[in-house]
Amino acid sequence: MKKITITNKPSFAFSFITYLLAIPCVVLLWLFLTFTNTNNFVKTIAPISRNPNVQKYISETAANRIINNVTLTDLTTALSGNSEFSAINPQWIKIIVQPVIENGVNQIISSNQFYDVFVKSLTFVHKTTLKELNVHTSGLSLNFHPLVISAVTALNNTSISKVTNSLNVTPSTGIIKFNTSKLDKLRQNYQHSVFIAKVVIILPIVTFIISIILSKRRIRTFSNTYIYSSILLFIFIVALLFAPYFVNTANLDQTAAIRSVISNITHSLIMDTTALAVVLLVAGIGIRRYEKQIGSLLSSLYLKLNKTK
């Protein structure tokens, strides 16, 4: 068995640091570009609302909230009136009407109108949040009120309007406010996170350059860094693909919804990382394959530059 020896320990040390930082660098770069840019943020988050598993879980949760906010007596009267069905146990009425409400809610949140309002609200909230995080103000208010009004109005136009008409939607419903102290803490954490992200993104580039400078076989070190970094990225991609399957809760619909959310959010990360890994692997193999030719070319260019001086 051939013994592996490290001929240039300083160069290897910096190369090893570069390998270790490859995945955190890619993840933080993706997070930075996604969550600090409104267009990228909306493109990543908005499709979640169109996922069937997410819609089903939201419909169930919303139906439970609606029924819990309506008294059983009013629910029975609204649905049965003065007919003979008024004698039905209110609990049975609740069980009967729940699937109907779920279906009504699902029709609303799966509609194009709801999606358009959701995208507009998401865009407004993200722009407002970013602006407030970068500027010192007295407070922050996130307004989801138009989204709530749109959903309730649509529900009131369905067959379950007798139930949803009793929902109490105030002018403050859907509005989330942060006071000055919470906002200052949030802003401070955001700015620290951005600083750390920038450092982690820049650091592997620095260690990569140092490893090349310290190396005796610079072209080989260059290709090795590309190849090994691409292998690590491929392993990371496989981990991301299987990550949703590690999520398990007591509620099967909730589990399916969470898995779908993870898959939707990480989709662009997987695609971008795959493209980067392929480019690095092809470049690394190409550089190693034509190492001598590249070395000769660089040497001749170096000599020509010295002659011109």
- Running DSSP on this structure, what letter comes out for residue 183? H
140-144 — which CB contacts under 8 Å span 24+ positions?
140/177, 140/178, 140/183, 140/186, 141/175, 141/176, 141/177, 141/178, 142/175, 142/176, 142/177, 142/178, 143/174, 143/175, 144/174, 144/175, 144/176
- Is the pTM higher than 0.85? The answer reads no
Residue numbers in the chain where pLDDT is lower than 50: 1-5, 85
Measured at the alpha carbon of residue 243, what is the angle toward residues 238 and 244, in degrees to the nearest 5? Answer: 130
User: Per-residue pLDDT tens for 145-198?
Assistant: 666 666 666 656 655 555 555 555 666 666 666 665 666 777 788 888 888 888
Total count of residues recorded for the chain:
309
Confidence at residue 41, expressed as pLDDT on a 0 to 100 scale: 92
Confidence at residue 3, expressed as pLDDT on a 0 to 100 scale: 45
User: Per-residue pLDDT tens for 244-280?
Assistant: 999 998 888 889 999 999 999 999 999 999 999 999 9
Confidence at residue 94, expressed as pLDDT on a 0 to 100 scale: 67
Confidence at residue 186, expressed as pLDDT on a 0 to 100 scale: 76
Q: Which helix (H) or strand (E) holds 91?
A: helix 90-109
Give the list of residues 6+ apart from residue 162 with CB closer than 8 angstroms, or none. 78, 79
Q: Rounded distance, CA 225 to CA 18, Å?
A: 8
